[in-house]
Amino acid sequence: MDLLLLSNSRAPGQEFLAHALDEIDDFLGANRRLTFVPYASSDHDGYTAVMAAALAARGITVVGVHTVADPRQEAARAEAVFVGGGNSFRLLKALYATGLLETIGDRVRAGELRYLGASAGSNMAAPTLRTTNDMPIVSPPSFETFGFVPFQINPHYLDPAPASTHMGETREERILEFLEENDVPVLGLREGAWLRVDGAVARLGGVNGARLFGRGSEPAELVPGEDASHLLSTTPRYDLTG
């Protein structure tokens, strides 16, 4: 299985995907054709154009999966897929409706398809949607996602702001709430960070690092370049309180 899971696709003051272009280039290897899944956005054509423009300089051709007659057929012959960010609930609903959850899922698990995700697309690589930051604007038939990794991912992980007077929960508080109900590690990828998985090896890349949360343990810091392969042998346990 080959995965590249980005926290974010746009970094402050930089062009779309610029912060991760070298890594994407390396991840794709000789293959220069990328199938793009834009369903997390409401503007499929616009989003695909932005993606195509960002990758053109590297000689990478982007095909919007929504532009072909049969998205499942496109996914069945693709060598690499990029699932873009936006709203995770909208994305997951579309993955079920199109059948891509099954086609992409089966082929990535079989090692036939490289999987790139950003933000909502990275959320999909976990077993469930439960650690998304997004608003549930539509209702997917289930919260179950691809499950390429056996732990949860929280993209755009944001450290608590000590000066805030807002009484809403911090990201850490939200994740601890998740851990009240589930015994599953949560990898909070800060903006600029990514996780790359190559078979049994997982490694943190990019900048800013990640914060790893576990039920009943203190949060731990992961620094850029750190090996995170031990997370791939996690046994997740959901719905502890029934």
State in angstroms the smallest separation of the CB of 171 from a second copy.
Answer: 9
Stretch that binds a second copy, among 53-61, 63-71, 134-142, 216-224 (CB under 8 A): 134-142
Stretch that binds a second copy, among 10-18, 47-55, 197-205, 206-214 (CB under 8 A): 10-18
Instruction: Give the one residue of 18, 56, 135, 223 binding a second copy; rule: CB under 8 A.
Output: 135
User: Given strand 152-157, what is the order of strands in its sheet?
Assistant: 152-157, 186-190, 210-214, 217-222
- Contact status: 158 vs a second copy (CB under 8 A): yes
Mask 97-126, x = binds a second copy (CB under 8 A)? ------------------------------
2 is catalytic: no
Chain mean position to CA 139: 19
156 is catalytic: yes
Catalytic residue among 9, 88, 119, 122: 119
Q: Residue 175 is inside which H or E element, if any?
A: helix 171-181
Question: Contact, 120 vs 40, CB < 8 A?
Answer: yes
- Contact status: 167 vs a second copy (CB under 8 A): yes
Q: Which residues contact 61 (CB under 8 A, 6 or more apart)?
A: 32, 33, 34, 52, 55
Q: Which residues pair with 63 in a beta bridge?
A: 35
CA distance 39 to 84: 8
- Contact status: 48 vs a second copy (CB under 8 A): no
Q: What residue has token string 């956005």?
A: 41
Q: Which of 167/200 has CB closer to a second copy?
A: 167
Q: Is the dihedral of CA 50, 54, 56, 62 positive or negative?
A: negative
Question: Contact, 116 vs 83, CB < 8 A?
Answer: yes
- Contact status: 145 vs a second copy (CB under 8 A): no
- Contact status: 18 vs a second copy (CB under 8 A): no
Q: How many residues bind a second copy (CB under 8 A)?
A: 38
Burial (Cβ within 10 Å: 0-12, 13-18, ≥19) of residue 55: buried
Q: What residue has token string 């293959």?
A: 31
Instruction: Give the one residue of 25, 66, 143, 147 binding a second copy; rule: CB under 8 A.
Output: 143
* Residues engaged in binding a second copy (CB under 8 A): 8, 10-12, 42, 87, 90, 128-139, 142-143, 156, 158, 165-169, 174-175, 177-178, 180-182, 191, 239, 241
Report the catalytic residues.
119, 134, 156
